[in-house]
Homo-oligomer: A and B are copies of this chain.
Amino acid sequence: MQVEDRLKELKDTINRKVPRGVTVTDVEYEGPEMVIYTDDPKRFAEEQDLIRTLARDLRKRIVVRPNILGDTEQAYDMIKSVVPDTAGITDIFFDTDTGEVLIEAEKPGVVIGKNGGTLRDITMKTGWTPKVVRTPPIPSTTIKQVRQFLRETRDERKEFLRRCGRRIHRDSIYTGRDKEQWLRLTTLGCCRQVGRAAFLLSTPESKVLIDCGESPGATGSASSPFLNVPEIYPFTTLDAVVLTHAHLDHSAYVPLLYRYGYDGPVYTTPATRDTAAMLQLDYLDVNNKEDKVPPYSSNEIREFVKHTIALGYGDVTDIAPDLKLTLHNAGHILGSAIAHFNVGNGLYNIAFTGDFFYSKSRLFNPAVSQFPRLEALMMESTYGGSEDFSPSRKEAEERLYEVINTTVTRGGKVLIPAFAVGRSQELMLALEEGFRNGLLPKCKIYLDGMIKEATALHTAYPEYLNNDLRNQIFRDNYNPFLAECFEQVDSQEKRQQIIFSDDPCVIISTSGMLNGGPVIEYLGNLAESEKNMLIFVGYQGDGTYGRRIQKGWREVPVGKKGSIVINMEVQTVEGFSGHADRRQLMNYVQYLQPKPERVFTIHGEESKTIDLASSIYKKYHIQTVAPQNLETYRLV
C-alpha cells in the first residue's frame, strides 16, 4: 500500500474512533509522529483520554493540530492570564506552521499544570497547541542559539519531518514467506580501541548508524571511523543515525555525514543535541587553532541540529519500517543514553550502552539495566580490565578534599584540568558540598573554559539529572552550581589576577588532558612553585601532556613558549570517572534483565575488551565476543 493510501485509511479509522461531532480533516506523518488535523482541537483537549487511546490503538505517537488558528494577540493575552505568574514565562512564540505555541518559562511545571490541566486549558481557549520549554536558570548561549535556529528554519524542518515520516512509514519490501530475514551488526570503529565509535545495524529493509565519533590523538584516516566501506557509503542509504551521547569520540563526525549526502534524521536526547553542537563547534575551533583543516564547517553542525529528532528517555519510536528505538538513561553525562532497538516487531532486540556509569553519581541515576526484551548487548569496556577497580565516589571525594586541604593550608593553589562536560560538574558538586559542610577551607573556586556553558546546559535540562539534585534545585530552590564559592573567569585580566594573587584557590579549567585551552596558561605560571598542586581526575590519553606529567615528566614542552618545568606537586585522584569500572561492568551484566544471548565488548583497549568478554563468559555463561573493527556479525 502506498503511504497516501495508508494515511487515508488511518484518517477513516480515526474518524470512526473519535466521538460523534469531532472531525479529523487530515492525517500526516512528521518524523516518527502522526499529526492529526482537526477543526475542533478543543474537543480533543476536553476528551482527556482520547489521544492516549488513539496512540495505544494505532501504536503511534500522536499530535493534534487545529486547522484554524486563533488570533495570536488574543492567544497571548489568554496564556498570560491562564498561567500563574509564578511560572516565570520568559518567551511566547507562535509557530503558524505547526499550530504550536512555544512557551519558555522558568518553571515549566507551573505552565503544564496538574495532570496537564493548564495546557489543556490553553488549547481549549486558544486553539493553539502549547509546547513548554525551560528557561535556563543559568543563561546558555548554546540553548539560545539552538532554539533561535530551529525557529528560523521551521519551514525546512517541517518539510524534512514530513519526508522523514513518510520514509519511516513506507511499505516493507521484504515480506513474503520465502524471504530470508536477517539482522547484521557491522563494526566501523571503537573495537579494541577507545574512540571513533560507529556501528551499523542493517536488515533487508533498513540501515541505522549508531554514533560517529573521532579517535582523540589519532591522525589521518585512523581518526575517523571507517566511513568509506560499502556497508555505509553512500550515506544516502542510511535510514537513521542514533547518537548515544555528546562526547566527541561519539559525535564529532556526525555533521560530516551531512556534508557527504546524508539528509536523514539523528535521534538523540535534546540535551545531547545541544551539548554535541557546543562540543562540535569547539572541535572546529580547536582544529582551526591548530592549523588543521576541519572535516566540516559550522554549516554541517547546523544541519545536524536541524535534522535532529529529539527523544526523551523511554519514548518508543518507529525509526524505520522494521525498527523501533528507545533511549534509556546511561548515567554517563548529561543526556547520555543507552540505545535499545526492537527489530522486526520483536524478532530481535539489541542495546548499545554507549558510555555508561552503573552507580548513582552526584548528577545522574545509574544506567538502566532492565529492558522489555534483549537478545544482544553492545557494551563499553573502557575499564574492563581485570585490575580496573576504581575507588567509590565517596572515597574519591574524601581524597580530593584531603589534597585540597593540604595545598590550601600551605598557601598553595590547586589546578584541576577537567573536561567541560560531566567531570567538571561532578567536581563542582563535590566541592560545593565540601565547602558547605566545612570539609574544605573557605577559598574561591575558579571555573575557566567551556565549563560555565556546559553547566548552564545541565540546569536547562534538569529532567536528566537525578532526583536529589533536581529537588535541590527546583523544590528547595538551591542551585549548587550557582553557589558563592564559584567564580567564572571571563577575561585575560581576571586570569592574571588569579595567578598573581597570594590567596589560595582551586582552579578547574579545560582541556582535561592539558592538550590546549586556558589550563595551559595556569600551568605555565603555577608549575614553578612547590606550594601549588596539580590534580588529575580524569583519564589521560596516550601522547597527551597530561599523561606525560602523570608518568613523572618534570619538564614538558607546552605550547609555543618552550618548556614548563614542573615543581608543583602532582597527584592523581581516581574515582571521578563517568565510566563503569570493572566491578560495575560485571554487576551490570549480572543485574541485566532479561539476560542477553550475546554480549559484545567494545570501546576499550584490546586486552581489556578481551579480558571482559572472557570473564563475562566464564561467570555468566553468556556468549561473548570482543569484535575487531570492520567485522560483520549476523544476529538473526
Contacts and interface: CB of A to CB of B under 8 A. Distances in A.
A180 interface: yes
A182 interface: yes
Contacts of A221: 178-180
Contact of A630 (B178, B182, B628, B629): B182
Contacts of A186: 632
A630 B226 CA distance: 19
A551 interface: no
Interface string A152-185: 0000000000000000000000001111101010
Contacts of A634: 628-631
A230 B220 contact: no
A631 B628 CA distance: 13
A228 B237 CA distance: 13
Nearest to A183: B630
Interface string A345-364: 00000000000000000000
Interface in A205-241: 219-222, 226, 228, 230-231, 237
A145 to B, nearest CB: 35
B180 A222 contact: yes
A474 interface: no
Given A230-B230, A231-B230, A231-B231, A178 B631 contact: no
Contacts of A220: 176-179
Task: Identify whether the interface residues of A are mostly helix, strand, loop, or mixed.
Answer: loop
Interface in A248-291: none
A478 interface: no
* Residue of A179, A180, A184, A219 contacting most chain B CB atoms (<10 Å): A180
A633 interface: yes
Given A221-B178, A222-B178, A630 B630 contact: no
A219 B628 contact: no
Interface in A609-634: 628-634
Nearest to A627: B634
Nearest to A231: B230
Contacts of A204: 228
Contacts of A633: 631
Contacts of A226: 180, 182
A101 B629 CA distance: 52
Nearest to A632: B632
Nearest to A176: B220
Interface size class of A (residues with CB under 8 A): 20 to 34
Nearest to A219: B178
Contacts of A177: 220
A226 B228 CA distance: 21
A176 B186 CA distance: 26
Nearest to A237: B230
A629 B221 CA distance: 30
Nearest to A223: B178
Contacts of A179: 220-221
Contacts of A628: 634
A234 to B, nearest CB: 9
Interface string A276-309: 0000000000000000000000000000000000
A471 B612 CA distance: 62
A298 B6 CA distance: 43
A308 B228 CA distance: 30
Nearest to A232: B230
Contacts of A228: 204
Nearest to A191: B634
Nearest to A184: B630
A176 B48 CA distance: 65
A455 B250 CA distance: 62
Contacts of A629: 634
A42 to B, nearest CB: 50
A456 B630 CA distance: 47
A179 B177 CA distance: 44
A203 to B, nearest CB: 11
Nearest to A222: B180
* Residue of A222, A231, A630 contacting most chain B CB atoms (<10 Å): A630
Nearest to A628: B634
A365 to B, nearest CB: 37
B632 A631 contact: yes
A551 to B, nearest CB: 26
A180 B193 CA distance: 14
Interface string A11-40: 000000000000000000000000000000
A177 B222 CA distance: 11
A182 B179 CA distance: 32
A222 to B, nearest CB: 6
A626 to B, nearest CB: 12
Shortest 5 CB-CB contacts between residues of A and residues of B: A178-B220, A632-B632, A230-B230, A628-B634, A630-B634
26 contacts: A176-B220, A177-B220, A178-B219, A178-B220, A178-B221, A178-B222, A179-B220, A179-B221, A180-B221, A182-B226, A182-B630, A184-B630, A184-B631, A186-B632, A204-B228, A230-B230, A230-B231, A230-B237, A231-B231, A629-B634, A630-B632, A631-B631, A631-B632, A631-B633, A631-B634, A632-B632
Interface of A: 176-180, 182, 184, 186, 204, 219-222, 226, 228, 230-231, 237, 628-634
Given A182-B630, A631-B631, 15 more contacts: A176-B220, A177-B220, A178-B219, A178-B221, A180-B221, A180-B222, A182-B226, A184-B630, A186-B632, A231-B231, A628-B634, A629-B634, A630-B632, A631-B632, A631-B633
